[in-house]
Amino acid sequence: MGTCEKKDAMDLLKFDGIHKSYTRGGMFGDRQRHAVLKGVHLSIAPGSCIGLLGRSGSGKSTLGRIALGIEAPDAGTVLYDGAAIDQMPAARFRDFRRNNQVVFQNSLGSVNPRFTAGQIVAEPLKNFKSSTAAALKEKINDLLTQVGLRREDADKYPHQFSGGELQRVCIARAIALNPRLIVLDEAVSSLDMVVQSRIIDLLMALRDAAGIAYLFISHDLRVLAKIADRLAVLHDGRIVEDVDLTEPRQQAYHPALIELIGAVLPPISEWSKRRNEAICV
Ligand SMILES: Nc1ncnc2c1ncn2[C@@H]1O[C@H](COP(=O)(O)OP(=O)(O)OP(=O)(O)O)[C@@H](O)[C@H]1O
Ligand SMILES: [Mg+2]
């Protein structure tokens, strides 16, 4: 599939100079603004996967929420298909929200415990599409099988799943409306390596089948090495490194990236070589 062909495609999502501050403190009247994002520029091409790295508290989840339109930046623009999301008419913004989904790390906390898996997966379908009860049931079955669960799982409640299974339910919910982008915020971090690897394979298969792009927030370099085409590093409020993992690279890496990858290398130059062989033949 064409990671190599897609380089010149129009950006699906683009962060153009995003700024975001939060107010800190306040108990003793010492409220201060804390600038988290200080001019973030980053583009996501259709069907691509960007790994977003950064130290804890660097603003990755904040940027993820801004990408989804859940939170507004103080300054700067998020462009979807070239259009600023804050200028969109309501119908277009709804379309943007429909096409941008999210999977969080804490799947138990992001589902309604009183809903069955079937109801959880059906939620976005009900909000956005009208269909008969029979068609809805068939669609739910389809989605559950796509993520490697069984039809019978539709009737189970969140506490009756393992962490990995529930994460699959959340992925099924995220793909229900055939989105163009999924923000995965530490979505596989709490899972063991075998389940992690299965979910990554599933995400890659979905990308190949449906051209979904991912903004993949993770501290785990092994995971990113497997799935990401690019690696963006958020440091001191800005993207200080944007490495194309499909190309060999000569220049030195930003110290913030070196600090993050530390001793965990395989060197990124090695990933590039491997990915080149795997992707561009
Ligand atoms: N709603 C909020 N109100 C106040 N401060 C916030 C809010 N959301 C985030 N912050 C602050 O913004 C900074 C960035 O938070 P964010 O959750 O985006 O970091 P992160 O890179 O995702 O970290 P981690 O890797 O630990 O998940 C932190 O200092 C956090 O305390
Ligand atoms: Mg976070």
This prediction's pTM: 0.87
Q: Residue 82 Cα, ligand 2 centroid: separation in angstroms?
A: 27
Share of the chain above pLDDT 90, in %: 53
At 85-125, the pLDDT tens digits run 999 999 999 999 999 999 988 777 889 999 999 999 998 88
Return the best residue to mutate from 15, 20, 22 for the ligand 1 pocket (most ligand atoms within 8 A of CB).
22
Rounded mean pLDDT of 63-69? 96
Query: For 28-44, what is the mean pLDDT?
Result: 88
Q: What is the pLDDT of residue 110?
A: 86
What's the mean pLDDT when you consider all of the chain?
Answer: 85
Mean pLDDT of all residues in 267-278: 54
Which of ligand 1's atoms lies nearest the C-alpha of 71?
A: 1
Residue 268 pLDDT:
59
- Quick one: tokens of 199? 């979910």
What per-residue confidence (pLDDT) applies to 195?
79
138-161 pLDDT tens trace: 999 999 998 889 999 999 999 999
Distance CA 31, CA 189 (A): 34
126-141 pLDDT, tens digit each? 766 667 888 889 999 9
Closest ligand 1 atom to residue 234 Cα is 21
Our answer on whether the CB atom of 57 is closer than 6 Å to any ligand 1 atom is yes
The pLDDT of residue 262: 66
pLDDT of residue 194: 82
Summarize the confidence of residues 244-252 as an average pLDDT: 78
Task: Give the distance (Å) from ligand 2 centre to CA of residue 63.
Answer: 9
Lowest mean pLDDT among 72-76, 114-118, 183-187, 243-247: 243-247
**CA pair distance 270, 265, nearest whole angstrom:** 9
- Nearest-10 crossing angle of helices 117-128, 90-99: 150
**216 C-alpha to ligand 2 centroid (Å):** 11
Please give the pLDDT value at position 269.
57
Closest C-alpha among 16, 4, 47 to residue 179: 47
- Highest CATH level, class, for 5-280: alpha beta
Average pLDDT over residues 14-23: 96
Q: What's the pLDDT score for residue 8?
A: 45
H helical segments located in 147-267: 163-175, 193-210, 221-227, 255-261
What is the domain partition of the chain in residue ranges? 5-280
Instruction: List, as one string, the DSSP characters of 68-89.
Output: HTSS--SEEEEEETTEEGGG--
The number of angstroms, rounded, from the C-alpha of 27 to the middle of its chain's C-alpha atoms is: 35
- With a cut of 60, say whether residue 3 has pLDDT above it: no
Question: What atom of ligand 1 comes closest to residue 186's alpha carbon?
Answer: 27
pLDDT band at 74 (very low <50, low <70, confident <90, very high): very high
Query: What is the spatial distance between Cα 245 and Cα 271, in angstroms, rounded to a whole number?
Result: 7
> 57 CA distance to ligand 2 centroid (A)?
7
